[in-house]
Chain A
């Protein structure tokens, strides 16, 4: 008599998608519990408090400075992403059953919760600002105390956070020494955030990472009678930085195209760590979006 022997089913290898998602979940927890984003968030809160409580140096100082306070948080996210990608340099990684491209994709996806957290914080900030009545913008006789950010301006921190993840990843990939990559990431974020005004002149603001509006468009010499200008205009009076009357303009179109430009930069940075077709696709799409974003900004810039 023959006896049927039950042979245990051979374990089926997980699908690449499940592997990528499992690694992404693991790395997401590590990124969110890394000390750098928490420290960055704390510094951003202090930075925002400083901006909102300081005596304004010029009309619209708070409006122009608030978008910048997200810089330390973004630096923290980049440092955590760089730490995640630095783990790929361990010799053990070569023996892993997951391909390098899958590991890179998983670690990029691991940044999504951090990006979502930035989106939630930005939304909370916008609601608080709405409840507080808005910000001071412009000089008398063209001034408002109830200025609010436009939607494209409010969206800017989200692509910036995505870029922070991709930038940290690219830095860790391009710079072999882990601490050297961290120093480079720190230098770049703190060069573009507290000194954002250096990168937001009329010529460079289309290329800047953190774009701050409004723009000031000259409308008359310092001796002009401002009362003769249209009453609906927000105005910037002559001061130590400008010798003319200017019209204060917020351009939602420019902010929207700047968001597109940031998405392009994010894809370009991501292409550094991806491989194969994903790298080529991300690189090409990123280049197209970045160029289109800059070109369109230049076209709509007041």
Chain B
């Protein structure tokens, strides 16, 4: 694990954390609350976590006995605690301990987005795994913001990560398991 710890990029989580703490502090100054930014914080944290899967040496390491899934597992073992620490820090900084956000609060929605990102990364083309995986949570959040008033199945789908986060996590885990050999 030690070599993995050394090479896993934590810069995305640091960048997301720094951006949120700055924006959240400004929001508290301006409006007295940074709560409206929490869904964005969940998407950014999830994206930053998945971005940590980026492995510049992936092609080189394809020939080693440790499978891609195993190497991904090692990276996630480093990234998940770091992501959890960032999310908890953001919650503390936002002074939000109460369940103000509905289903799965406080870890369900961020876990749903992160799991979705990992599932997309697993099934994405090898050269773009981390990029596609990191884009997935951001895109899901953005679509929800831009088209949140849609009716029918589309309207339900864009908000599922907030309304049924654990179902999303289960579906993503199934996709990750199915792509275990990729």
Contact = CB atoms under 8 A, between A and B. Distances in A.
A56 interface: no
A11 interface: no
The range of chain A's interface size is 20 to 34
A47 interface: yes
Main secondary structure of the interface of B (DSSP, over half): helix
Interface of A: 39, 43-44, 46-47, 50, 53-54, 72, 75, 175-177, 179-184, 186-188, 190-191, 194-195, 198-199, 201, 203-204
B141 A54 contact: no
A259 B117 CA distance: 38
The range of chain B's interface size is 35 or more
Main secondary structure of the interface of A (DSSP, over half): helix
A180 B15 contact: yes
Given A72-B146, A180-B9, 5 more contacts: A50-B148, A177-B51, A179-B51, A183-B44, A195-B40
Which among B19, B44, B47, B146 has the greatest number of chain A C-beta atoms within 10 A?
B146
B30 interface: yes
A199 B149 CA distance: 23
Interface stretch (B63-71, B131-139, B173-181): B131-139
A75 B19 CA distance: 15
Given A182-B134, A188-B23, A190-B142, A50 B149 contact: yes
A179 B12 contact: yes
B156 to A, nearest CB: 16
Which among A54, A182, A188 has the greatest number of chain B C-beta atoms within 10 A?
A182
Contact of B11 (A72, A177, A187): A177
Contacts of B167: none
A198 B131 CA distance: 30
A179 B130 contact: yes
Contacts of A184: 15-16, 18-19
A195 B36 contact: yes
A179 B148 contact: no
